[in-house]
Amino acid sequence: DAAEKSGYDHYMLKEIHEQPRALRQTISGRIDPDAGSVDVEVDLPPEYIASIEEIQIVACGTSNYAGRYAAELLESTVDVRTTVEVASEYEFDGGRDPWRTLVVAVTQSGETADTLSAIRRAKRAGARTLAVTNTLGSTIVRETDDSVFIRAGPEIGVAATKTFASQVATLTLLAVHIGRERGTLPYGRAQELLDSVRQLPNAVQSVLDAEDRVREVAREYVDSDAFFFIGRQLGYPVSLEGALKLKEISYDHAEGFAAGELKHGPLALVTEETPVLALLTDGSRPKETLNNVKEVQARGAPVIGARTDAGDGSSAGAGPGGADASSYVDVDLPVPAIGDLEPLVANVYWQLFAYHVANEKGRPIDRPRNLAKSVTVE
Ligand code: AGP
């Protein structure tokens, strides 16, 4: 067992540290930077891609948050309405020609009963289905029209970590592929997105190198009453994911909010005993979120902020009038400036934070109570 964990105390920590390698596998051989094109080995004919009228993503838990991240990118690159639903709530509504709705199931295991059942509903109604999964030979692969593999390698910890990163990276590649095929994604913007994907492994490594700092922060706040994660745009699904990770393994009360929603209710929960973890990177509307940071600080809440590092130690553009976001937060966590995927890199801080809070509490991190790695009942 110890050998399988390669010296780490838990599979979760091992898998958090495996992310640069997993991401390199995800990307390997799939990007042609000169052409601004992508090959994710998917058999979606160009005429089908041109005819897509809607994309519906169905998934549960962490995979659902990966889907939400991707939907933000898909809608702009592919130029069709893209919705994301929790698989257990999904009802297919595909208009006059259901085949023109592409239903994408995102599932690490490929065996989640709720996701399988959603896909079966879509198929029965006549939609085209596509699986984005980590597991060759899984049920979802057999039951969908096409599959794309995220290639993250086996994940043992119940809490999904490296597969979230690889799901978002794969879905970003898929968004570029479909966008280029449809002619809706300009070459320059495709290059930007592909650059962001290619810089991911090194950017994630720089966050992993800061683990000692995150451990200290976790120790400082371990006895808090609750933890709130806030972010906008691409930072919102990452906030939901950060909170899910913390509640799964530490059993603490944690919630993710769209930062702009705080004032519509959740602000009543904010006290000196509720740290707020804020996404202030590019892609998460840092200027607007900084205003929410000030709202929670005025209520005495400590703020742990992940913000873009322009390379000279200052923050890239965040903060009203170019002011430095780092001067507004109690704990300042820098994220390398890589564009659209910065919130995904910041998520690695939230993973490490969740891990070290849970570890301080002595929780059974790889096997949290009441949870299974793959949920095969509806
Ligand atoms: C993630 O940490 C969870 N254990 C859980 O939410 C998981 O992502 C969900 O059950 C979906 O699993 P799947 O990706 O295998 O379909």
CB 56 within 8 A of CB 161: no
- The band of 316, judged by pLDDT with boundaries at 50, 70 and 90, is low
- The band of 93, judged by pLDDT with boundaries at 50, 70 and 90, is confident
> Which residues are known to be catalytic?
373
Mean pLDDT confidence for 22-39: 95
For 345-357, what is each residue's pLDDT tens digit?
999 999 999 999 9
pLDDT above 60 (res 323):
no
Write out the DSSP string of 17-32: HTHHHHHHHHHTT-EE
pLDDT over 70, % of the chain: 97
Task: Say what the ipTM of the complex is.
Answer: 0.98
- The band of 327, judged by pLDDT with boundaries at 50, 70 and 90, is confident
CB 358 within 8 A of CB 250: yes
Q: Which of 60, 104, 370 to mutate to test the pocket of ligand 1 (most atoms within 8 A of CB)?
A: 60
Written as six digits, the tokens of 221 are 């706040």
What residue owns the CA closest to ligand 1's atom 7? 61
Point out the ligand 1 atom lying closest to the alpha carbon of residue 133: 14
| CA–centroid distance, residue 218 to ligand 1 (Å) | 24
pLDDT over 90, % of the chain: 88
pLDDT above 80 (res 205):
yes
Query: Where do the H-state alpha helices sit in the chain?
Result: 11-17, 19-27, 46-51, 61-78, 113-124, 139-143, 162-182, 187-208, 211-221, 235-250, 286-298, 342-360
pLDDT above 80 (res 312):
no
- The band of 321, judged by pLDDT with boundaries at 50, 70 and 90, is very low
What residue owns the CA closest to ligand 1's atom 16? 107
**Ligand 1, pocket residues at CB < 6 Å:** 60-63, 107-109, 112, 115, 158-160, 248, 374-375
What residue owns the CA closest to ligand 1's atom 6? 61
| CA–centroid distance, residue 199 to ligand 1 (Å) | 26
What residue owns the CA closest to ligand 1's atom 2? 159
Q: What's residue 1's pLDDT? A: 74
Q: What's residue 204's pLDDT? A: 98
Least confident of 176-185, 221-230, 317-326: 317-326
- Identify how many contiguous H helices and E strands the chain contains and give both numbers: 12, 12
CB 313 within 8 A of CB 307: no
Point out the ligand 1 atom lying closest to the alpha carbon of residue 374: 15
What residue owns the CA closest to ligand 1's atom 4? 159
pLDDT above 90 (res 317):
no
| CA–centroid distance, residue 375 to ligand 1 (Å) | 8
Q: What's residue 94's pLDDT? A: 73
- The band of 241, judged by pLDDT with boundaries at 50, 70 and 90, is very high
Higher pLDDT, 96 or 8: 8
